[in-house]
């Protein structure tokens, strides 16, 4: 990869993770329609490719990284909550249970070819009281985050176990990104 990577995301968490990994990048917003139903890997990969493709169309010949993170429980895909009621419903469903976090990653190379991968991490929430759920929602942290929580934020106090990539739960599996970049070099 000869050109600097373009991150097709406005997510501050993805920017922080790429910076932490020492990967040089610039940011360009991705505006692409997302799907919300289907098998979790398919949903995450479809949305990641759509975001990366939208930016790649504007920047031909440049490598573009797109990602999409979803939370999956009992056959339901949880994206970002629409409002407080939606956040409460998501957190109540996750309460005291294991769920999966999927992040689809798409890296479009300088020739326009998409290289994709999906990472899954199991996450367990401890029991939260209704008051704890209300207090967490009041922080506004759940908004803009798949499943209505941020493991690296206040929600970390309610997550006692994960199996898999921590950075995946934040929104970008760094080992997966590294592997895709190495495939291009």
| pLDDT classification of 2: cutoffs 50, 70, 90 | low
Q: What is the dihedral of CA 51, 47, 110, 181, to 10 degrees?
A: 120
| pLDDT classification of 185: cutoffs 50, 70, 90 | confident
**Span 93-121, mean pLDDT?**
97
Evaluate whether 8 touches 14 at the Cβ level (below 8 Å).
Answer: no
pLDDT at 4 over 90: no
pLDDT at 74 over 90: yes
| pLDDT classification of 1: cutoffs 50, 70, 90 | low
| Fold of the domain built from segment(s) 5-184 | Maf protein (3.90.950)
**Catalytic sites, residue numbers:** 68
Helix (H) or strand (E) run with residue 105 in it: strand 98-108
Predicted local confidence at residue 54, as pLDDT: 96
Comparing CA positions, the residue from 11, 44, 1 lying closest to residue 179 is 1
Comparing CA positions, the residue from 175, 170, 165 lying closest to residue 11 is 170
Parse the chain into domains and list their residue ranges. 5-184
């Amino acid at each position: 990869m000869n050109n600097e990577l373009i991150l097709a995301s406005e997510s501050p968490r993805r920017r922080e993770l790429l910076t932490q990994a020492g990967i040089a990048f610039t940011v360009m917003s991705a505006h692409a329609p997302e799907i919300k139903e289907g098998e979790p890997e398919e949903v995450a990969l479809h949305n990641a490719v759509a975001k990366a493709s939208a930016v790649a169309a504007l920047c031909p010949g440049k490598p573009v990284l797109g990602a999409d993170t979803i939370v999956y429980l009992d056959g339901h895909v949880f994206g970002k909550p629409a409002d407080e009621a939606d956040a409460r419903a998501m957190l109540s469903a996750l309460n005291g249970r294991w769920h999966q976090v999927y992040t689809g990653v798409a890296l479009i190379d300088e020739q326009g070819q998409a290289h994709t991968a999906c990472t899954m991490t199991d996450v367990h929430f401890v029991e939260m009281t209704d008051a704890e759920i209300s207090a967490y929602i009041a922080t506004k942290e759940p908004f803009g985050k798949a499943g209505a929580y941020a493991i690296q934020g206040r929600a970390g106090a309610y997550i006692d176990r994960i199996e898999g990539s921590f950075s995946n739960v934040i929104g970008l599996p760094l080992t997966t990104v590294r592997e895709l970049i190495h495939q291009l070099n």
